[in-house]
Structure 1
Amino acid sequence: HGGVNTPGGWLGRFLRARPGIRVGPLSAVAFGKSMPECLRGAPSATALQSLDDFSLGSNIGQFIEQLESLYSRWGKDVALQSAGMDTIKAVRRIEKLDRKSYQPENGAEYGDHPFSRGLSQVAQLIKAKVGLDVASVDLNGWDSHWAQDMLMDQLIPELSQGLQAFYRDLGRKWMETVSVVVMTEFGRRLYMNSSLGTDHGRGSVMFVMGGGVKGGRVLGDWKGLKDDVLEGRGDLPVTTNYRNVLVPILERHGAHDLSGVFLEYELSPLLL
């Protein structure tokens, strides 16, 4: 969120903050069971568990003809006619995707788990040029109140494999125009609880990769793990506002005035 009194999610506000950039039916896609909070308030957003959910059946040709006929009657309403035609183009492009036999490029190997499958489908949408501006893919299960080592042993390889495959699949050509942000809603505390896990905390970590990012670096004011630098009972201090990580990425993708995206905050963008 941008702040307590800020309406909508930060990606939703971002999509509204790009002057002259038209939002299409597939400008924002979330792969998961529900729409994430970050996309709340977006002018257009779609939640899918799989691209296979996006199908109009065997009569798609007839259906599109009827849509074209319907929207052609609204010639005086340019905005409505334009939105309708954008929708038709997006449907046609998705229907042409060979989703089940998709072959990743450059030797990329996605894992057989929801996170990798979601990233694979994002890559397909990018390559199909359906007008995708933002995509959200969830990797759940990090709320490690118990047996944290067992959870991490499964989740970290899933995250790593998915990101590596996505980067390799898109290659330099596509990745130059794509920015990937890995972030979470909250951090963890430093000290283990009685269930061999950790409880909710403040400090956390973000990962970024893609166009405009100089990789191989760790950014931020790392103060260590000694008790005298912790806050309260084992909380890592927040030294970098996550908004300052997002600012240069959003600016790179068309939002030059972020006063409507992150309200109530004085921003100091991080040099990525």
Structure 2
Amino acid sequence: MDKEKIIAELNRHKKLPYLDYRLKQETEDFTDTLFYTLFDANTPVAVNLELLEKKFNQLMDMACWDLEKPSEELWNNYISHLPQILENLNLDAEAILNCDPASLSIQEIYMAYPGFYAIAIYRLAHELYEEGVPLIPRMMTEYAHRQTGVDINPGAKIGKSFFIDHATGVVIGETAVIHDNVKLYQGVTLGALYVAKNLEKTKRHPTIENNVTIYANATILGGETVVGANSVIGGNAWITSSVPANSTVYHKPEIKIKTTPNV
């Protein structure tokens, strides 16, 4: 095949489907600007809200989706939720400070904790998800995933004072419901028991009630699975059915140590 035919074939397949990666790049820039608007002391809120509106409109123009609400109405509704989002994120930061003995200051939480950053981008993306904005919320949380190793689907519902410690490897599915004062450690998965496209509109991921702690590498699966309030799930536990409130669940491995005597 000559060069011209190769180029023609590449162009033909490249358009199936049509992808404009500027949307991805601009979404990441929008996400950064949004985060700095909420938290950076040197970023002027009034100026940045106008900038963010322009960026949002550009994103919607590039996406070319027909939504019931016009872009301006969507944006005005979204920014009306930002004070509550910021209040919730401040509660998340306080929860981390109060629970982690390694945290030395509240500033450290905001600037150096990947779990907090992942939660922040999730909360900012979730409101757009609730408004029915397609793709952009998922690209926002995927941006945070790439930076932190935490994969939170923007459709998940997460309550107040949420704490992810160490962060890396945490996965929270689209229909997961997490209530208040929940703590997760690295490697925790809140996933689906079955993976099939016809389950798209069903609740596939577990519910975690108030004051639950889930330790490293625990896996909790299934839309009907509920972990009751005040429970503790130990590391490496595999759970596919509900846990009553005030329970302790743990995986008990068999560990053998063989010591060779000194010769």
The TM-score, its normalising length taken from structure 1, stands at: 0.30
Bigger relative CO (Cα 8 Å, ≥ 6 apart): 1
The TM-score, its normalising length taken from structure 2, stands at: 0.30
Q: Which has the larger helix fraction?
A: 2
